[in-house]
């Protein structure tokens, strides 16, 4: 089993699920089956349920719950634990209610293409040291938290949506901060704080203002700055360019550069210097 922990979540990639197990969940948990089809019986909250663990089916277990299950064969799975603090903050910011009054409703062997896509991508990001960057993982977790609360909690109302994009002055503050910190790790909550709105509202307002989500905008600005650095400092090696512009590795830098320019950093420099 491979495990990777982050600020907002923990991912476990399980190659062989146990035939019998019991767990006390201290945090909300999502279990996504990715391979294998077996009969699963589960008892949670005094209720016994059973079904087939087809690839793409998933279980949702709330925090502070206990479950026992058994299966007639082992499967492959991805298990994601979301931080309880993340869900509490999302409830408070977007629904403006006491998080202690909100309950996540357990789910057994359901299908949810949204959760399947996000959990799968989080596992890929975690196993590869977040090649898309911190902002992507944070955005995915924020989105996942909202989706869980909207679809599988005791809340029935949707959060209020912001009207329009960011005010011009606050957008300028955010953009200036990004430009000044391209070489550093840029956190989503920091950008939202500069805009003086919640993280979820910031993501939507930012996209409305610039047409792209924050993580993609930051990546595009880093690639643009890399083009300038490659030309202005022709003796600077690719690894150093990647480091100076906040890429997790030279390979991450090269793949991002190719996707946006159509050629590698080395080829780009050779063509223009």
**Would you call 174 helix, strand, or coil by DSSP?**
helix
Query: Please, how many CA atoms are within 13 Å of residue 99, restricted to the half-sphere of its CB?
Result: 14
Which option is the CATH number for 2-152: 2.60.120.10, 1.10.760.10, 1.20.1420.20, 3.40.50.1580?
Answer: 2.60.120.10
pTM: 0.68
Q: 243 pLDDT exceeds 70?
A: yes
User: Which CATH architecture group holds 219-272?
Assistant: Orthogonal Bundle (1.10)
pLDDT per residue over 135-185, tens digit each? 777 888 889 999 999 999 999 655 454 456 899 899 999 999 999 999 998
- Averaged pLDDT of the chain: 87
Residue 3 confidence class, pLDDT cut points 50, 70, 90:
low
Residue 4 confidence class, pLDDT cut points 50, 70, 90:
low
Residue 193: both structure tokens together:
């704080």
44 in Cβ contact with 50 (< 8 Å): no
Residue 259 confidence class, pLDDT cut points 50, 70, 90:
confident
Residue 200: both structure tokens together:
């979820």
Looking at residue 1, its pLDDT comes to: 57
């Amino acid at each position: 089993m491979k495990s990777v922990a982050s600020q907002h979540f923990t991912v476990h990639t399980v190659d062989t699920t146990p035939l019998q197990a019991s767990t006390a969940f201290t945090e909300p948990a999502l279990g996504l089956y990715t391979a294998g089809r077996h009969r699963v019986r589960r008892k949670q909250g005094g209720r016994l349920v059973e079904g087939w663990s087809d690839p793409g089916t998933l279980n949702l277990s709330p925090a502070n719950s206990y479950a026992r299950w058994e299966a007639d064969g082992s499967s492959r799975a991805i298990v994601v634990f979301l931080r309880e603090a993340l869900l509490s903050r999302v409830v408070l910011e977007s629904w403006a209610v006491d998080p202690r009054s909100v309950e996540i409703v357990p789910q057994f062997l359901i299908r949810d293409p949204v959760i399947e896509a996000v959990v799968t991508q989080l596992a890929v990001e975690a196993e590869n040291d977040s090649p898309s960057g911190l902002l992507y993982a944070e955005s995915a977790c924020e989105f996942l938290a909202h989706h869980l609360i909207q679809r599988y909690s005791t809340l029935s109302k949707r959060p209020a949506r912001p009207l329009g994009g960011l005010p011009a002055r606050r957008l300028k503050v955010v953009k200036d901060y990004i430009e000044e910190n391209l070489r550093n790790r840029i956190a989503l909550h920091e950008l939202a704080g500069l805009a003086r709105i919640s993280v979820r509202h910031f993501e939507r307002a930012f996209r409305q203002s610039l047409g792209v989500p924050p993580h993609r905008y930051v990546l595009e600005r880093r690639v643009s700055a890399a083009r300038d650095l490659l030309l202005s400092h022709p003796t600077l090696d690719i690894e150093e360019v990647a480091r100076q512009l906040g890429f997790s590795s030279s390979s991450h830098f090269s793949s991002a550069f190719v996707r946006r320019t159509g050629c590698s950093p080395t080829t780009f420099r050779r063509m223009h210097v």
